[in-house]
Structure 1
Amino acid sequence: MIGKLKGTIEELGEDYVLVDVHGVCYVAYCSGRTLSKLGSVGEACILFIETYVREDQIRLFGFTTALEREWFNILQTVQGVGAKVALALLSTLTPAELANAIALQDRAAVSRAPGVGPKVAVRIMTELKNKAPAFAGEAANIGLKQELGEGVAAAPVADAVSALTNLGYSRDQAANAVAAAMKLAGAGADSAKLIRFGLKELAR
């Protein structure tokens, strides 16, 4: 099994890259985000690889980080999500954004990916909500976001996030701002104080 490729970019396609490793060229299918991070033809590249072996073919999928590869695999544990949909999700959202969206139960964010309808988005959020923290990577305040997504966050916190969202900020931005506000305002702060501190955080 191939786990990693280090070589030179021979060709860049719409959904794949051809990597020359000491004269042997490998085709690796990638998300749009991964392809955009690679250099130009002739430049060196490193890809984390997931190898799929089928009766009639061997297919390689390439990722710039091991975390992105982990998400590719975990997404496919959800019924209705295959390699194509998983790559579409990773083309649309970073691993951190995906973890945030699942924790916040943000169906709109998950549904932005091509091929992901409302039913599949709900299934992804439901089946992966307890797994997201383990694969959160750089996602901040994942515990608070889970509480918000499950509707069990403290009332002042939920109210403050709702107020900031109503002002046009995304739920992720609002949740991060309120998390920072909680540290500044201290325990027991009311929603008005959290909103005030949260707005200062967002204005930075």
Structure 2
Amino acid sequence: MIGKLKGTIEEIGEDYVLVDVHGVCYVAYCSARTLSKLGSVGEACILFIETYVREDQIRLFGFMTALEREWFNIVQTVQGVGAKVALALLSTLTPAELANAIALQDRAAVSRAPGVGPKVAMRIVTELKNKAPAFAGDAANIQLKQELGEGVASAPVADAVSALTNLGYSRDQAANAIAAAIKAAGEGADSAKLIRLGLKELSR
């Protein structure tokens, strides 16, 4: 069983990377996100590996982090989700974004992944809802995102999140930053203070 590869990038394909480890080349199938973070041909790389052994083949799947590999396995416990869909999910969402989407029962976010229709998205958020909180953001962060999604967040909070998204940050980044700002400033802080603290959080 191969758990990790440390070698040199020999070739990068559409959905795989060829890694040379002391003269032996391994093909590892990866998410688009992982492939985008790899260096160029000839550069060193380290991949966490999940090995699939079938009667007619052995396949390696490579990941930048152990957490990404863990989510690759977790989502495949859902009926109708195989390796291809799991990689599509991790190409579309980071592990943290996927965990938050499941914790918030956000089927729309999950269904953005190619090959994930409404029924599969429903099964993913339903069947994994008890596993997601261990990986998602803290309770305050999740609560804030729920309030934003339901349109019940306070005006200063909603304004602060809107201001950060207008600056080019994703809604998830903005919500995470403002959740941290609320922790630092307290519940009664005005939007200007939340924006300032949110930007400070994002600059770290």
State the distance in 1 between where 2:53 and 2:166 align.
48
Secondary structure, in 3 states, of the residue corresponding to 1:140? helix
The answer to whether the Cα contact below 8 Å between 2:157 and 2:178 also exists between their aligned partners in 1 is yes
Change (3 A) 1:36 1:197: closer
Secondary structure, in 3 states, of the residue corresponding to 1:184? helix
Change (3 A) 1:176 1:51: same
Higher alpha-carbon deviation: 93-102 or 109-118: 93-102
Secondary structure, in 3 states, of the residue corresponding to 2:140? coil
The answer to whether the Cα contact below 8 Å between 2:140 and 2:179 also exists between their aligned partners in 1 is no
Higher alpha-carbon deviation: 9-18 or 98-107: 98-107
The answer to whether the Cα contact below 8 Å between 1:96 and 1:139 also exists between their aligned partners in 2 is no
Change (3 A) 1:54 1:147: farther
The CA deviation at 1:132 is 1.0
State the distance in 2 between where 1:36 and 1:90 align.
12
The CA deviation at 1:135 is 2.6
Secondary structure, in 3 states, of the residue corresponding to 2:139? coil
The structure 1 segments of at least 4 consecutive aligned residues displaced by more than 3 Å after TM superposition are 136-140, 142-204
State the distance in 2 between where 1:49 and 1:203 align.
32
Q: Tell me the TM-score normalised to structure 1 length.
A: 0.76
The CA deviation at 1:4 is 0.1
Match of 2:4 in 1: 4
The answer to whether the Cα contact below 8 Å between 1:28 and 1:59 also exists between their aligned partners in 2 is yes
Secondary structure, in 3 states, of the residue corresponding to 1:141? helix
State the distance in 2 between where 1:193 and 1:105 align.
30
Unaligned runs of 5+ in 2: none
Change (3 A) 1:13 1:170: closer
Change (3 A) 1:79 1:41: same
TM-superposition CA deviations, 1:77-119 (whole Å, max 9, x none):
1111000000000001111111121122221111110000011
The CA deviation at 1:189 is 9.3
State the distance in 2 between where 1:169 and 1:14 align.
28
The answer to whether the Cα contact below 8 Å between 1:96 and 1:138 also exists between their aligned partners in 2 is no
Change (3 A) 1:182 1:44: closer
TM-superposition CA deviations, 1:140-182 (whole Å, max 9, x none):
8246657988999999999999999999997646754663465
The answer to whether the Cα contact below 8 Å between 1:95 and 1:137 also exists between their aligned partners in 2 is no
Higher alpha-carbon deviation: 78-87 or 126-135: 126-135
State the distance in 1 between where 2:168 and 2:24 align.
51
Match of 2:161 in 1: 161
State the distance in 2 between where 1:29 and 1:138 align.
32
The answer to whether the Cα contact below 8 Å between 1:16 and 1:35 also exists between their aligned partners in 2 is yes
Change (3 A) 1:166 1:44: closer
Unaligned runs of 5+ in 1: none
Secondary structure, in 3 states, of the residue corresponding to 1:45? strand
Question: How many matched pairs?
Answer: 204
